[in-house]
Chain A
Amino acid sequence: MLIDAVKKELQRIVGVEHASFSKEALLCYAYDATNIRKMPDAVVFPKNAEEVSLILKMANAERFPVVPRGAGSGFTGGSVPVDGGVVLSTERMREIHSIDEANLTATVAPGVITWELQQEVEKRGLFYPPDPTSLNFSTIGGNIAENAGGPRAVKYGVTRDYVLGLEVVLPTGEIINTGVKTAKGVVGYDLTRLIVGSEGTLGVVTKAVLRLIPLPESTRTLLAVFPELADAASAVSGIIKARITPSTLEIVDSISIRCVEEYANVGLPKAGSFLIIEVDGTVEGTSKEADEVRRVCLENRASSVDEAVDKKEARNLWKARRAISASLFRIKPNKINEDVVVPRSEIPALVSGISGIAQRRGLLIACFGHAGDGNIHVNIMYDGKDAKESEVAHETVGEVFKLTLSLGGTISGEHGVGITKAPYLAMELGSDAISLMKRIKANFDPNGILNPGKVFAGGHSR
């Protein structure tokens, strides 16, 4: 609970209309895409770093939690106010400050929607590649905090690879600038990289300088259909072995195909699996690569390989792809959504391992995702009202993680740890590494006011 004096002060800092305490407003800032709900005591909409700084200084003085929030599309509860306190929404910080065409950089506020930035830079023949599937609504601040990535990561990398510098408000209220506005820079520790992926626990990003690249001249989009998931998985290995670097290489299994076709109605084939493959570059280069991809797919028992004839067809295909995650709820009301990564050569082993687990446990597990970089979304479907099934589903998570780690992988490629994965942190990281991380957190945030209860299970410094 916040005392009245604190509420008054929050109103003074951001303006009366930009601080809400009503139950109606709080209900709408209690969740993210995990559907975990915890009520905050206030939600504030600051306009700039100075206002953020004042809020954080007060939080230290009065000891209340502050939870940064972008679009609330996170998959691990990162913006859920587990301990109550103040949700700090970046929805008012939506400016693209500048796009520097001479130096290929963009300077943006944290609340800018990923897609809107991409539209703006593409108008100028430039390209901001990071493309989380949520890009139509997620924010740059959220992408930075989660180090989000997407289909294009296989060729272009993830958000981290495009952040040159940041303006960050530290948990104690100081405003610092990290990194550079230049292509290189080695002065001091790389705080930029530390902040990227820190899930809103080390500071609030209030501005970002992002790296842009020239927009590729041509993009070709192919859809390859396979009788079995295993065939598609081996085609993925085949494509990588053939020394082709597609710009995206997405795999979708039969359960996902069924659900999403119901939503999108784009005439997806009924099949065991398919791959969406994009190659980009020069016109000649992509034409050669597209042929090569076609050959490898057919060699791996593809029943057909089609190409999107125009941008619209390609867009439709992507629309369907982006809808998979949410459309899975058509088969079961609940799901556990993991985003494990394995070395690319181990994808066939991962998918066959998971289908084994599903069979043994009697569960439906849908697999799809960014096969090109080994990142597979494993969706364990269950009915929360069925206590037995629910328990089995949750037990299965540990098993999936064990399999992933045994194949040399990691338990989260892009969604982060937040609250949902915090209990599994020790499965992957050694205790020395965890304790170093906790010391870093304590140094940044001695009073534990910024996004408490995240990343580290239970034992938080607060």
Chain B
Amino acid sequence: MMNSELLRKEIGRCVVCGTCRSVCPTTRVLNRETSCARGKLTLIGALSNGEIQMSEEYVRHIKECALCGACKDSCPNGVDTVGAFVAARAEIVAKQGLPFAAQMILKALIDPGGLKGTAIKIAGALQGLFLKDASAEAGLVSRFSLPVIGGGRLLPPLAKQTFLEMSRVKTLAVPIAQGTSVKKVAFYAGCGVNYLMPQVGSATLDVLERAGVAICVPPEQVCCGMPAYSMGDKDTARAMALKNLEAFEAYDVDYITTSCATCGHGLKKLFKELLSDDPALSRRVSAFSAKVRDITELLTNELGFIGKAGAKAAEEKVTVTYHDPCHLNRAQGIRREPRALLANAPSLSYKEMRFPCSCCGLGGGLSTTNYDLSIEISRRKAESIALSGAQVVATACPGCIVQLRDALHRYGVDAKVAHVVELL
């Protein structure tokens, strides 16, 4: 994370050309300079110069952001806008602390399956309180919604049985036998899959089995730390990274895969940053991160899955389109792989939508801190999906799935949402 001097330097590199205005999903909705990257950088700079205080308005503008990275991508001058925003959020947390509910949840996520006990215990309090509590204060969970029920929102309930508790998964909680000739793959579930969508995890295991690899699911795995990190709680994020590193080092594998775009980004890049302070750890994490592949990436580039037998067949092809998760597309550069999988599936007919890469609106804690803005951003996505005429929207991130389902429901678009692996 940038320290204040680096932050100041990065802001100085912004030449205020305005290019980032054209891509910002929040600016498209709010139509204000204060919400675009150029405006935010101006404000962060003004705070560091002491021109303004960390006012309520300051905090609001900094949080009018999905951390989608589109501004960073578009910036001709290569300004690390997202890095600056995350650092600014951390400053806010350092000064104001995190809301109680967020603290509870983060604490719980440090343990495997930890959310379940806590969430159930505080479920009643959570459901009513959580939204209000979080929306008034600092950002909450970065990429995925938590199991809360708010007015008019469509949110998945917490799974009765988490992914890691499933009996099928428990049988995979052991190291892969030595001397096997096939590729050895460890699956990292992530909170979205574990708590909200175990079926996506199962579907991932199915395709991995069909791809003919040996699989294990280390039971000691915990949250990837991305939510804590984007909330500005670096210590918790670091503790999580270390736990995961140790959990996976105990299993000798060729690849570590995940079906969550956000976790994949965390595992590949964030761990390195968080553990870079210790040279020995740094070496270990490099070896770990080099093995990480998004599931679509693994299937397409490493396992030659396309064209393998056993694919779902159908009488009539289903029209499918694809939504690019920001954390897969912009953060990991993966665009071709999921499309190739979908386009080559015999039961599917692929159709591109108009704005596949525009953010669904969930990120940056927006869906909890500023739900109105978040769901308004997703309007464009919903329209884009409707226009494509697709019956199913595929994507590769549990967070996006939650948001897209809510958005399609809200805007009356008749299409189903699924993870790519559920369709193959």
Contacts and interface: CB of A to CB of B under 8 A. Distances in A.
Interface of A: 22-25, 27-29, 31-33, 35, 45, 71-73, 89, 91-92, 94, 111, 113, 115, 134, 136-138, 260, 262-263, 322-327, 329-330, 333
Contacts of A115: 22
Contacts of B13: 329
A374 B75 CA distance: 28
Given A23-B52, A24-B34, A28-B43, A137 B21 contact: yes
Contacts of B78: 262-263, 327, 330
B61 interface: yes
B15 A329 contact: yes
22 contacts: A23-B52, A27-B51, A28-B32, A28-B34, A28-B43, A31-B16, A32-B16, A71-B18, A72-B18, A89-B33, A91-B31, A91-B33, A111-B31, A134-B18, A137-B18, A137-B22, A325-B76, A326-B17, A326-B76, A326-B77, A329-B15, A330-B77
Interface string B13-33: 101111101110000000111
B88 to A, nearest CB: 13
Interface string B35-54: 00011001100100001100
B58 interface: yes
Given A24-B57, A325-B76, A33 B16 contact: yes
Contact of B52 (A27, A32, A45): A27
Contacts of B23: 136
B42 to A, nearest CB: 5
Give the residue among A23, A134, A325 with the most B Cβ atoms within 10 A: A23
Contacts of A324: 76
A76 to B, nearest CB: 14
Contact of A28 (B12, B19, B33): B33
A89 B39 CA distance: 14
Given A32-B18, A92-B31, A134-B18, 11 more contacts: A24-B43, A24-B46, A24-B58, A27-B42, A27-B43, A136-B19, A137-B18, A324-B76, A326-B15, A327-B77, A329-B13
- B interface residue count range (under 10 / 10 to 19 / 20 to 34 / 35 or more): 20 to 34
Contacts of A137: 18-19, 21-22
Contacts of B31: 45, 91-92, 94, 111
A113 B15 CA distance: 21
B55 interface: yes
B43 A326 contact: no
Contacts of B58: 24
B46 A27 contact: yes
Nearest to B40: A28
Contacts of A72: 18, 33
Given A24-B61, A327-B76, A29 B18 contact: no
Contacts of B77: 263, 326-327, 329-330
A145 B245 CA distance: 58
B76 A33 contact: no
Contacts of A73: 17-18, 21
A26 to B, nearest CB: 10
B50 to A, nearest CB: 12
Contacts of B57: 22, 24-25
Contacts of A111: 31
A91 B32 contact: yes
B21 A71 contact: yes
Contacts of B75: 326
A336 to B, nearest CB: 13
Contacts of B39: 28
In the complex, the 4 A-B pairs of residues with the closest C-beta atoms, listed nearest first: A326-B76, A323-B76, A136-B22, A137-B22
Given A91-B31, A94-B31, A24 B55 contact: yes
